[in-house]
């Protein structure tokens, strides 16, 4: 549905995007993740035809966006980072304007009613946009993107600035949309990707540093497993003994103390499950273990590690030059 090949966007000598390629299939919901300034918005603006690339190609539903922008844009609904709203219009007036702007051919009344129903705007349809809450303004922004029933909907930071309740509502809405549309959303909020997306593309400094299924990314990136365990016992002795367990690569005492227990981070090889060994080790030494949980496998930690790693690569290359 979306095909991006060797996309480059250069501003002077700076690369906002540096040779990016990816494809998004029909019905996929993909998160474009990256720190601020990574190139997410630039990528989305090029995908939607708002910006032109320095080189590279973008195909939307098989149509090259530079060669036939109008045909390509008919397949796209776009919610920019700041919803493009006219505050002096009511919700209905605004959606009617967008309907006409997109030269939509669906039955107007039925189509707009359906969109307002999906985005839960029916109750506020006659209110001026300037008087709506931020959450409802965001819904209006999403509603305009859905007009014309585009095959691809692209959302740039769709939950930014919303309160937690509104964020949950918008995420639920995004999941609903994925049933009918191919969805690409950008965010720097990692929980959002975990909550909504099937696949994540991580961008840093204009380059793709990871492109995986959300559930697979941890396995792919990590070269081992980490667990945080809490063991009651003499700290130094426990730490030294833990290192001797087969399969344990590293042990680090965190220094956290909870009553008479201490916390340790144990790292193992990728193909070894050390949980049973650690449990048996504690039992045999008479040191009660009162907690064990995966450590550093949340997307947040992975993301930071990935970004740091890619920054390191860039720095190393610079030094070599």
Partner 1 sequence: MLAIYKRELRGYFVGVIGYVFLVIYLAMAGILFSYTTMFSMSANVTSYFTLMLIFSAIVLPLLTMKSFSEERKTKTEQLILTAPISLPAMVFGKFLASYTVFGSATLLTSLYFLFLVPYAKLQFAILFGNLVALMLVGMVFISIGLFVSALTENQLSAAIGTIAIILGFLGIGLINTLIPTKYAIRFVFSALSIFTRFQSYVNGYFEIASVIYYLSVSAIFLWLTIRVYDRRRFG
Query: What residues line the site for partner 1 (CB under 8 A)?
Result: 9, 11, 48-52, 54, 69-71, 73-74, 76, 78, 80, 82, 84-86, 88-89, 97-98, 100-103, 144
Which is nearer to partner 1, 84 or 291 (by Cβ)? 84
Query: Which bin fits 62, alpha (ψ -120 to 50), beta or left (φ > 0)?
Result: left
| Residue 195 Cβ vs partner 1, minimum distance, rounded to whole Å | 26
Which is nearer to partner 1, 40 or 230 (by Cβ)? 40
| Residue 21 Cβ vs partner 1, minimum distance, rounded to whole Å | 21
Which is nearer to partner 1, 100 or 123 (by Cβ)? 100
H-run or E-run covering 60: strand 55-60
- What separation in angstroms does the CA of 204 have from each of 32, 58, 59? 10, 20, 23
Which is nearer to partner 1, 83 or 233 (by Cβ)? 83
DSSP structure class, residue 51: S
Which is nearer to partner 1, 97 or 313 (by Cβ)? 97
CA distance 304 to 319: 22
| Residue 111 Cβ vs partner 1, minimum distance, rounded to whole Å | 15
- Sheet with 199-204, side-by-side order of all strands: 76-79, 152-156, 182-187, 29-33, 199-204, 207-213
Which is nearer to partner 1, 52 or 316 (by Cβ)? 52
Which is nearer to partner 1, 54 or 297 (by Cβ)? 54
Which is nearer to partner 1, 89 or 235 (by Cβ)? 89
Q: Are 218 and 302 in contact (CB under 8 A)?
A: yes
> Residue 136's closest CA among 152, 149, 123?
123
> Residue 49's closest CA among 150, 199, 135?
150
CA distance 292 to 85: 50
| Residue 151 Cβ vs partner 1, minimum distance, rounded to whole Å | 13
CA distance 79 to 281: 55
Q: Are 169 and 14 in contact (CB under 8 A)?
A: no
| Residue 293 Cβ vs partner 1, minimum distance, rounded to whole Å | 44
| Residue 155 Cβ vs partner 1, minimum distance, rounded to whole Å | 13
CA distance 137 to 161: 11
Complete DSSP assignment for 128-185: BGGGS-HHHHHHHHHHHHHTT--SEEEEESTTTT--HHHHHHHHHHHHHHTTTSEEEE
| Residue 219 Cβ vs partner 1, minimum distance, rounded to whole Å | 37
| Residue 13 Cβ vs partner 1, minimum distance, rounded to whole Å | 14
Which is nearer to partner 1, 79 or 196 (by Cβ)? 79
| Residue 153 Cβ vs partner 1, minimum distance, rounded to whole Å | 12
- Contacts of residue 152, defined as CB under 8 A and 6 or more positions apart, other chains included, come to 1, 2, 24, 60, 61, 75, 76, 77, 181, 182, 183, 184
């Amino acid at each position: 549905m979306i095909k991006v090949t060797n996309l480059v966007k250069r501003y002077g000598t700076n690369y906002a995007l540096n040779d990016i390629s990816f494809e998004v299939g029909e019905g996929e919901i993909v998160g474009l993740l990256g720190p601020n300034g990574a190139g997410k918005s630039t990528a989305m603006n090029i995908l939607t035809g708002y910006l032109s690339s320095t080189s590279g190609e973008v195909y939307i539903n098989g149509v090259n966006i530079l060669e036939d922008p109008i045909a390509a844009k008919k397949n796209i609904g776009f919610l920019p980072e700041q919803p493009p709203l006219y505050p002096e219009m009511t919700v209905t007036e605004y959606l009617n304007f967008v309907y006409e702007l997109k030269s939509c051919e669906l039955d107007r009344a039925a189509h707009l009613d359906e969109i307002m129903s999906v985005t839960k705007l029916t109750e506020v349809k006659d209110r001026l946009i300037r008087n709506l809450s931020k959450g409802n303004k965001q819904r209006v922004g999403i509603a305009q993107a859905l007009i014309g029933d585009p095959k691809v909907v692209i959302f740039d930071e769709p939950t930014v600035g919303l309160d937690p309740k509104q964020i949950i509502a918008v995420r639920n809405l995004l999941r609903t949309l994925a049933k009918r549309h191919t969805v690409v959303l950008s965010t720097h909020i990692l929980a959002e990707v975990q909550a909504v997306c099937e696949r994540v593309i991580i961008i840093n400094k204009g380059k793709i540093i990871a492109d995986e299924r959300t559930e697979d990314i941890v396995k792919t990136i990590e070269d081992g497993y980490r667990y945080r365990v809490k063991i009651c016992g003499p700290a130094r002795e426990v730490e030294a003994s833990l290192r001797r367990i087969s399969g344990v690569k590293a042990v680090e005492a965190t220094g956290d103390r909870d009553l008479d227990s201490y916390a340790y981070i144990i790292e193992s090889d990728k193909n070894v499950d050390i949980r049973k060994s650690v449990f048996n080790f504690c039992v045999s030494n008479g040191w009660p273990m009162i907690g064990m949980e995966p450590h550093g496998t949340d997307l947040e930690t992975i993301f930071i590690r990935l970004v740091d790693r890619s920054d390191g690569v860039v720095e190393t290359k610079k030094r070599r030059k």
